[in-house]
Amino acid sequence: MTVAVASGRLLEDSMRTLEAAGYLTAETWRTTRRLILPCLDPHVRCLIAKPADLLTYVEHGAADLGIVGKDMLLEQGRDVYELVDLGFGACRGIVAFPEEKAAGWEALSPIRIATKYPRVTERYFWGQGRSVEVVEMNGTVELAPQVGVADGILDLVMTGRTLVENHLLEVTEVFRSSARLVVNRVSLRTRAEAVRTVVERMREAASARARSSV
């Protein structure tokens, strides 16, 4: 059994949840730079992958389960089972514009949006009956409007501080995201018992952590 975990902002909480579920100890994941970690349960191993690659591993069955943000699920539309909302990593996908453009954003046409989520962006604006020019970026999306690459952005925000510091104003929310436990569709069948055990232990660990943090 392989559980893939997204590196980056979800890594720490993912590891803590795996720890709470009894699969890892803190030392194993804090003290190593290895990308495949052995677990306390000898039948389980843990693989650390880039967030954008994680669903590829799970969809292909290279990992049976994965922990990934809902934002990636929405963007990539992969054929995997999304079974548990693990609760952590909560953030929102929003559209924001520079303060001076924000008021009239609904009238802008054509509209150029910088984003790490090209498919979500196209879907959202097409859903509004508007055509959109998507400017795909890999990071520091909030820079794009300031240097004239785009009119606005569609990006993930947690606290909104980055927006304020870059003089951007949120105009609408597109989606809400948090970490999800996903399962390969074949693993769910060929390793049914083992997969269910991991899913249930992770579900309990996640809700126990949610309770204790309140």
96 counts as binding another protein under rule CB under 8 A: no
CB atoms within 10 A of CB 161: 9
91 counts as binding another protein under rule CB under 8 A: no
84 counts as binding another protein under rule CB under 8 A: yes
Give yes or no for a contact between 65 and 181, defined as CB atoms under 8 angstroms apart.
yes
Shortest gap between Cβ of 155 and another protein (angstroms)? 22
Shortest gap between Cβ of 160 and another protein (angstroms)? 24
Stretch of 27-35, 42-50, 60-68, 103-111 contacting another protein, by CB under 8 A? 60-68
27 counts as binding another protein under rule CB under 8 A: no
Q: Which is nearer to another protein, 116 or 180 (CB)?
A: 180
State in Å, rounded, how far the first CA of the chain is from the last one. 32
Q: Which of 48, 67, 150, 183 binds another protein (CB under 8 A)?
A: 183
For residue 116, give both structure tokens: 């790490």
Binding site for another protein (CB under 8 A): 56, 58-62, 70, 73, 76-85, 180, 183-192, 196
